[in-house]
Every structure is written in structure tokens, then in C-alpha cells.
Amino acid sequence: MINLVQRLQSFLKYWYFRFMLVTELYMVERWERNFINIFFLVVFSLFFVFNYKILLPFTQYMLQH
């Protein structure tokens, strides 16, 4: 079980590191990085809510009629 947790932690650290490199956030200060990460989280959460609450019912309605 501990090995699984360590592997998961390693996997998440690896992908976070890749995210930092691709978005070039490793060059900014820590507070800026936190702000941008929170901004991304909020934007993607709003996209998810919009798709789930508005777009999905609308699409189902259009397909039924």
C-alpha cells in the first residue's frame, strides 16, 4: 500500500513538473505561480460546470427533438 502511495506521489510530481516546464511557470515567483494555478483551476472548473449544467442538457434536448 505504501508503495502505491509513493508511486502515485511520484507520478503526480512528475506531471506537475512537466506542467511547470510547458507553461514556463518555473520562472515566475511563487506567489505568481500560485495565482496562475488558482486561475487555471477556476477557469477549468467553470468550463466543467458550464458543460455539465448547460451544454449537456441543451444537447440532449436537441437530440430528442
pLDDT tens profile 9-52: 999 999 999 999 998 998 999 999 999 999 999 999 999 999 99
Residue 6 pLDDT more than 90?
A: yes
Q: With beta carbons less than 8 A apart as the criterion, state whether 4 and 10 touch.
A: no
pLDDT for res 53: 92
Please choose, from the candidates 62, 61, 19, 15, the residue with its C-alpha nearest in 3D space to the C-alpha of residue 40: 19
pTM for this model (two decimals):
0.66
